[in-house]
Chain A
Amino acid sequence: MSALDFLSPAGDAVARSPMERLAQAAGARFEVREGWNVAISYEGGSPDAPVRWADVSHLPKIEVHGAHELTLGEATRTNDGWRCPITPDRVLVIGDRSADGIDLTSSLAALTISGPLAREVFARFCALDLRPRSLPVGGFRPGSVARTPGYVLREDEDRFLMLFGWALGEYVWTVVADAAGPLGGRPEVADA
């Protein structure tokens, strides 16, 4: 057993996102996959909604310490996810459970916001400049998200990954739903 094993959600119990109850209230059905209770469908789901958000808090997030060659502000795609430089000697590895570092999976909750109106939704609670010329695909920004510290990663043209404090999950879901709802937004499952 290593000194920091107790940080990793790798136990026999069911791991749950801090947004599980709100997803359930929004019509989600769940299934335990790889130890996590994840939404597999939503009642009345609308995959064509102009903006959609999905709870991806189960994604592994490992903070790796040490000098690196990455450029600040630019994440690098890997086979399993992303390597996001936070400081010149600190990288957040998303999606790769095998990374050697401090496990922050349960420290950072995560939502993807996708669709043609994704930026419009962000504009309602986040002052980061998400225009393509400022944040191209792979762009990674720390900053204030809904008045709390967080990160935004542009995964694709119309797809953003937002990371924020685990304890703020319920709050952030509420903010996103409030911002996206009037635009026809709907929650979706993580692998949609």
Chain B
Amino acid sequence: MRTVTKSAAATSLFERPCATSSATRRSVSVSPPEARVRPGIRAVVATTSDRGLDAASALRAAGVEIAAVADLRPSPGAPAAALRAKGIEVLAGSTILEAQGRKEVRAAVIGPAGGENGRGPREQRFECDLVVMSGGVAPATSLLAQAGARTAYDPARGHFALRDLPDGVHAAGEVAGAGGLEAIELSGQVAGADAAHALGFGDAASRTRVNGLRERQTAANGRAAEAVPPPVAGSGRGKCFACFCEDVTAKDVHLSVEEGYDSIELSKRYTTVTMGPCQGRMCQLPAVRLMAKETGQDLQQVGTTTARPPWAAVPLGALAGRPFEPAKRSAIHARHRELGARVLWAGDWRRAYDYGDPQAEALAVHEAAGLIDVSTLGKLIVRGPEAGEFLDRLYPNSFSTLKPGRIRYGVLTSDAGRIMDDGTICRLDDETFYVTTTSSGAGAVEQWFAWWLADWRMDVRLTDVTQGLSAVNLAGPKAREIMAALTDLDCSAEAFTYLDGKQGRVAGVDALILRIGFVGEVGYEIHFPAAYGQDVWDAILAAGEPFGIKPFGLEPQRILRLQKQHILVGQDTDSESTPFGAAMPWIVKLDKEQDFIGKWALEHASEHPAETALVGFTLPDGAVPTEGAAVLDDRGEPVGQVTSARHSRQLGQVIGMAWVPSPLASDGAEFTISDERRRLTAAVMTKPFYDPDGEVLRS
């Protein structure tokens, strides 16, 4: 191993944004040195130097209309004349005061900097969909600072510049203060030669040559004047983001000082400013300027935060990589597209949300039959002599007692007794279980199982087959007849009962068929190799066509499951929900022989009733509350929230689920929902809205 004793760093500069009021950060960017793409249609550019003017020219060349350029300098540089010659308005002594628009930029307000509350007479509003800001540059000194370099505030340039370098460390280029291509090149030659001389290379002649280079560099070192932006331009008009990564606003910095965190290091820890992925590249100087404004200190007194390793480069992929999303698609995905499905993200999967009319799709499930692709469900094979005991340790109910060919519902709880996931478990033979999980929870459950398996060292093998199997749910009053046309299995109600799991051929393919009913009708969940996904889907639709089968998507499935008050983990539960609060005390078998994860916490929960309970509700007036709307008590204080709500065409009413104070968890009890200025009165219904006794499901 060799130790580096001399080094030269050429880490260049960072572009800084202006700290300005903005209701959105979308379509707000720092100025690109070169624009080869068209990031917007109409832009407003705010700058403190020629860099912004050059960016405006580049954007114009890329086809972006420039609504206006605000240059903080009283006398903008030469490029301003070129812009004006093209008919672009360049407003001297101005900056951007506000970016308007809710989800994206709609307009920008430009005016003199430093205006406090209220609009000034010289302010102008420009409609635009892109705001480009160049709030000056700052040398990228962090690596050098980690090596022991010190910086000092340079009021002429408005940033912290290198002051002292430790022995053996050299700097070149813009980080060392060089400006202009010639000076930058010369500074590189000088730094390299200095390092070589320090190592003992060279002679008197080479030193003379380097001194000559140094003089040439000084002479060539030209940098156009820059204006120093104020800490906040146009304050008092909504959020003013100082840190784009961590959403830290000027108000947050103000509050940190009020709370006593009145140094930049303390404020950093309080607000997390400079702690985001950009490592302070964009926000360090605005944060220091804000701190100086709040404390009355000058910038040198405020100083900078400590540079700490690792100093990560911006990945080239982030700048130039193609934005391919690692989307998971079921083997039936293309068919959904062909059937006109609206496809949306569901976790890392692309899923059919509906096929145009979710209510009609839900009705078809009640009236004839529906088919939904549920391939996204997590699927695990748990196998081994101790597989049953392994599951008994993980779940609050028992699986070692489950007979082969039967299915049991399972709610997975954490060691704190909170609901993590749910799904069905089918025992395939004495040593083999087939575990399904929620679509979004598949990865976490597999890790959870693997973690405990490693800890307990049981004779169990775990294999994730989530992507290896397609799964479809055929449900509805005609589902049995359709199944009979596709398989040799006896599908009669007597031979294939609710919660049976059987293997057989479906449409010529070996499959595992689970008789379960998430959507509340007679249903068969068919699991088979993904390589057959498309063909089996086609075969089921073809067999069901005489019966009126229709494909249905995620949204109708949500309506259907809500009618049954079947929970969606993560939607109707949160990280504090226990099975007791979620109206599933029956699933917790505290008296079972096997100890299990979360038992102690669940014992505690069973002895101390939850303050809130998950209940179903109906709304007589037809209004569908927003999911997340507050449940209010008599004093108008929030005491719970709506987790799910839909209109059900089948039931002809609005139904939902909500967490309410436990005393209200009885049929007929009324509670108030506050939803976007509306007050709605809901009535509790603790049993499923559809088929409350499960007669249809089990038939």
Using a CB–CB cutoff of 8 Å, the interface residues on chain A facing chain B are 1, 3-18, 21, 36, 57, 63, 65, 102-108, 146-148, 165-171, 174-175, 178
Task: List 16 interface pairs A-B (beta carbons < 8 Å), by A numbering.
Answer: A3-B432, A3-B503, A6-B469, A8-B529, A11-B505, A11-B509, A13-B509, A13-B536, A13-B539, A16-B331, A17-B531, A65-B461, A102-B383, A102-B465, A107-B468, A171-B325
* Distance between A166 CB and nearest chain B CB, rounded to angstroms: 4
The answer to whether A168 and B328 have CB atoms under 8 Å apart is: yes
Task: Give the contacting residue for B329; candidates A7, A18, A106; CB below 8 A.
Answer: A18
Contacts of A106 in B (CB 8 A): 467-469, 529-531
The answer to whether A4 and B381 have CB atoms under 8 Å apart is: yes
Q: Assess whether B326 is interfacial by the CB under 8 Å rule.
A: yes
Contacts of B329 in A (CB 8 A): 18, 167-171
Using a CB–CB cutoff of 8 Å, the interface residues on chain B facing chain A are 322, 324-331, 333-334, 349, 375, 381, 383, 428-429, 432, 461, 463-469, 503, 505, 507-512, 527-536, 539
The answer to whether A3 and B468 have CB atoms under 8 Å apart is: no
Which of B349, B508, B512, B530 gathers the greatest number of chain A CB atoms within 10 Å? Answer: B530
Please name the residue on chain B nearest to A178 by beta carbon.
B322
The answer to whether B528 and A6 have CB atoms under 8 Å apart is: yes
Contacts of A36 in B (CB 8 A): 531
* Distance between B432 CB and nearest chain A CB, rounded to angstroms: 4
Q: A146-B326, A166-B331 are in contact. Are A7 and B468 (CB under 8 A)?
A: yes
* Distance between B148 CB and nearest chain A CB, rounded to angstroms: 32
**Bound Cα distance A169, B466 (Å):** 14
* Distance between B581 CB and nearest chain A CB, rounded to angstroms: 34
Task: Give the contacting residue for A9; candidates B461, B463, B531; CB below 8 A.
Answer: B531
Contacts of B466 in A (CB 8 A): 107, 167
* Distance between A105 CB and nearest chain B CB, rounded to angstroms: 7
* Distance between A149 CB and nearest chain B CB, rounded to angstroms: 10
**Bound Cα distance A13, B327 (Å):** 26
Q: A106-B529, A168-B326, A178-B322 are in contact. Are A11 and B508 (CB under 8 A)?
A: yes
The answer to whether A15 and B503 have CB atoms under 8 Å apart is: no
Task: Give the contacting residue for A3; candidates B349, B428, B467; CB below 8 A.
Answer: B428
The answer to whether B532 and A11 have CB atoms under 8 Å apart is: yes
The answer to whether A165 and B510 have CB atoms under 8 Å apart is: no
Contacts of B511 in A (CB 8 A): 6
Task: Give the contacting residue for B532; candidates A13, A65, A102, A146; CB below 8 A.
Answer: A13
Q: A9-B531, A166-B468, A166-B530 are in contact. Are A175 and B324 (CB under 8 A)?
A: yes
Further 8 A-B residue pairs, CB within 8 A, beyond A103-B468, A106-B531, A167-B329: A4-B381, A6-B511, A11-B529, A12-B509, A17-B531, A18-B331, A63-B463, A107-B466
Which of A12, A21, A166 gathers the greatest number of chain B CB atoms within 10 Å? Answer: A166
The answer to whether A9 and B467 have CB atoms under 8 Å apart is: no
The answer to whether B469 and A171 have CB atoms under 8 Å apart is: no
* Distance between A133 CB and nearest chain B CB, rounded to angstroms: 20
Q: A102-B463, A178-B322 are in contact. Are A7 and B428 (CB under 8 A)?
A: no
The answer to whether B529 and A171 have CB atoms under 8 Å apart is: no
The answer to whether A171 and B326 have CB atoms under 8 Å apart is: yes
Contacts of A146 in B (CB 8 A): 324, 326
The answer to whether A21 and B334 have CB atoms under 8 Å apart is: yes
Please name the residue on chain A nearest to B430 by beta carbon.
A3
The answer to whether A13 and B535 have CB atoms under 8 Å apart is: yes
Which of A13, A18, A65, A108 gathers the greatest number of chain B CB atoms within 10 Å? Answer: A13
The answer to whether A104 and B381 have CB atoms under 8 Å apart is: no
The answer to whether B529 and A7 have CB atoms under 8 Å apart is: yes
Please name the residue on chain A nearest to B381 by beta carbon.
A102
* Distance between B213 CB and nearest chain A CB, rounded to angstroms: 38
Contacts of B510 in A (CB 8 A): 1, 5-6, 8, 10-11
Q: A13-B536, A102-B381, A174-B324 are in contact. Are A166 and B467 (CB under 8 A)?
A: yes
**Bound Cα distance A85, B601 (Å):** 40
**Bound Cα distance A72, B125 (Å):** 65
Contacts of B532 in A (CB 8 A): 9, 11, 13-16
Q: A65-B461, A167-B330 are in contact. Are A104 and B531 (CB under 8 A)?
A: no
Please name the residue on chain B nearest to A179 by beta carbon.
B322
* Distance between A128 CB and nearest chain B CB, rounded to angstroms: 16
The answer to whether A171 and B468 have CB atoms under 8 Å apart is: no
Please name the residue on chain A nearest to B461 by beta carbon.
A65
* Distance between B193 CB and nearest chain A CB, rounded to angstroms: 35
Contacts of B469 in A (CB 8 A): 6-7, 106
* Distance between A101 CB and nearest chain B CB, rounded to angstroms: 9
**Bound Cα distance A65, B387 (Å):** 15
Contacts of A4 in B (CB 8 A): 381, 428, 432
The answer to whether B467 and A167 have CB atoms under 8 Å apart is: yes
**Bound Cα distance A146, B321 (Å):** 12
**Bound Cα distance A147, B349 (Å):** 15
Contacts of A104 in B (CB 8 A): 463, 465, 468
Please name the residue on chain B nearest to A5 by beta carbon.
B510
Contacts of A107 in B (CB 8 A): 464-468, 530
Which of B381, B465, B536 gathers the greatest number of chain A CB atoms within 10 Å? Answer: B465
**Bound Cα distance A125, B505 (Å):** 40
* Distance between A7 CB and nearest chain B CB, rounded to angstroms: 6
The answer to whether B507 and A13 have CB atoms under 8 Å apart is: yes
**Bound Cα distance A158, B643 (Å):** 55
Please name the residue on chain A nearest to B334 by beta carbon.
A21
* Distance between B444 CB and nearest chain A CB, rounded to angstroms: 15
Q: A102-B463, A166-B331 are in contact. Are A16 and B531 (CB under 8 A)?
A: yes
* Distance between A61 CB and nearest chain B CB, rounded to angstroms: 9
Contacts of B327 in A (CB 8 A): 168, 170-171
The answer to whether B508 and A12 have CB atoms under 8 Å apart is: yes
Contacts of B375 in A (CB 8 A): 167
Contacts of A10 in B (CB 8 A): 510
Task: Give the contacting residue for A148; candidates B326, B383, B503; CB below 8 A.
Answer: B326
**Bound Cα distance A7, B463 (Å):** 12
The answer to whether B529 and A16 have CB atoms under 8 Å apart is: no
* Distance between A156 CB and nearest chain B CB, rounded to angstroms: 27
Contacts of A174 in B (CB 8 A): 324
Please name the residue on chain A nearest to B463 by beta carbon.
A102
The answer to whether B328 and A15 have CB atoms under 8 Å apart is: no
Which of A63, A171, A178 gathers the greatest number of chain B CB atoms within 10 Å? Answer: A171
Contacts of A1 in B (CB 8 A): 503, 510
The answer to whether B535 and A6 have CB atoms under 8 Å apart is: no
**Bound Cα distance A17, B383 (Å):** 28
**Bound Cα distance A21, B331 (Å):** 11
Please name the residue on chain A nearest to B375 by beta carbon.
A167
Contacts of A3 in B (CB 8 A): 428-429, 432, 503
Contacts of A18 in B (CB 8 A): 329, 331, 530
Contacts of A16 in B (CB 8 A): 331, 531-535
**Bound Cα distance A65, B383 (Å):** 10
Please name the residue on chain B nearest to A175 by beta carbon.
B324
Which of B330, B333, B463, B464 gathers the greatest number of chain A CB atoms within 10 Å? Answer: B463
* Distance between A109 CB and nearest chain B CB, rounded to angstroms: 8
Task: Give the contacting residue for B326; candidates A14, A15, A105, A147; CB below 8 A.
Answer: A147
Contacts of B465 in A (CB 8 A): 7, 102, 104, 107
**Sorted from nearest, which 5 A-B pairs have the closest CB atoms?**
A107-B468, A12-B508, A11-B509, A15-B531, A167-B328
